[in-house]
Amino acid sequence: MQYTLLAKDKNSEARCGVLTTAHGEIHTPVFMPVGTVGSVKAVHMRELKEDIRAEIILGNTYHLYLRPGTEILQAAGGLHRFNGWDRPILTDSGGFQVFSLTGTGRKITEEGVTFRSHIDGSKHLFTPENVMDIQRKIGADIVMAFDECPPGTSDYNYARHSLGLTQRWLERCVARFDETAPLYGYEQNLFPIVQGCTYRDLREKAAEHAVSLNRAGYAIGGLAVGEPAEVMYEMIDVVEPFAPADKPRYLMGVGTPSNIIEAVSRGVDFFDCVMPSRNGRHGKLFTWEGTVNIMNEKYITDDRPISESCNCPVCRNHSRAYLRHLFKADEVLALRLAVLHNLWFYNELMAKIREALDDGTFADFREKYSGNLEKRA
């Protein structure tokens, strides 16, 4: 895996580049559609490639481990062959999902985490070692370390204890990953996750430790979990000086279009979030003019596209009135069209950010759109 820097903004830490993987190139900054169980909800792989033009998608270790299970994935030759996606894949370690299972008998020890499946209540154990083994069997190009995800409201003592556990688990992840080989004949790469809640000294300690392990890239986790956006940006600023310039940085689970623009200005390269697909399934649509709630009665006879500045397949072929009708009729096509539009918009957002970085106009782009794209159109 090789990251090549192509352009750097003179007014901020923003940059664009290209990451070369075994399954193709990823042009950064990039947004990764979330394909939790091996599919992006309501979207076909052909649409992801040809319409949305996604270069990488995200899968989730917790969900894929429980269903369909690693035996089935390994028998198929890995997730790429199982779901028919021939471009890069990143898998989250499942840590966030496991630690979200509060009230289900979840137990954290030095060894790992014991939890019960949300599907059938069966009991399971995740350790740094077996999470690496599971991700080898899934076969993603980029795999994430197993970490503890403390609540965003954690006090300092808990956050410090949690970070210590995450760092010890990270060292075990690295050891296990390095002593095992890819199963399907192509390179995989492990990204550490920098935790530390909203405490500057813990974030610095976490970043320094992660970088000392000399991996192919680094992630920032534990943000966008309820803290104010300004605090999230502050934590990115704390971590950024530690991040090597020749390796990609990934901000996990973020976010709104404005969050993405602001994080790009702070040197972040990779993003993922369920927001475009989840909001789309509820009729909330992103446009360059602001957000559209397609369920609003004012669109009942509106024959305009969702956005007249959008060139996605939905806006080229359908009206607001028609899409509203589909939602009101509980027609499944409504979900497909809305998600397709939102993911197309997010990909277009990243393309325009890269274009602005390439031609030196990112500062103007940021001033025009940051803080405005979430306003109602």
* Strands 107-108 and 113-116, sheet pairing: antiparallel
Neighbouring residues of 245: CB distance < 8 A, sequence distance ≥ 6 = 5
Q: Where are the alpha helices (DSSP H) in the chain?
A: 45-47, 61-66, 70-76, 79-83, 95-99, 128-138, 156-179, 200-212, 229-239, 257-264, 275-281, 313-317, 320-328, 332-359, 362-369
Phi, psi dihedrals of residue 198, rounded to the nearest 5°: -110, 30
DSSP string of 21-79, one letter each residue: ETTEEEEESEEE-B-TTSS-TT--HHHIIIII--S-EEEEHHHHHHTT-HHHHHHHTSH
- Could you tell me the two tokens for 15? 């940059």
Residues whose CB falls within 8 Å of the CB of residue 121, separated by 6 or more in sequence, listed in order: none
Structure tokens at 350: 């990243």
Tell me how far apart the alpha carbons of residues 221 and 268 are, in angstroms, rounded to a whole number: 12
- Does the annotation count 92 as an active-site position? yes
How long a stretch of residues is the chain?
Answer: 377
- For residues 35 and 60, give the distance between their C-alpha atoms in angstroms, rounded to a whole number: 8
Other residues' Cβ atoms within 10 Å of the Cβ of residue 330: 8
How many Å apart are CA 331 and CA 325, to the nearest integer? 9
Catalytic residue among 92, 141, 147, 269: 92
Which two structure tokens, joined as six digits, stand for 190? 């492990």
CB atoms within 10 A of CB 227: 16
Residue 42's region, left for phi above 0, alpha for psi from -120 to 50, else beta, is left
Residue 291 identity (one-letter amino acid) = T
Q: Which residue has the tokens 């269903």?
A: 67
Choosing from 141, 147, 269, 272, the catalytic residue is 272
Active site residues: 92, 272
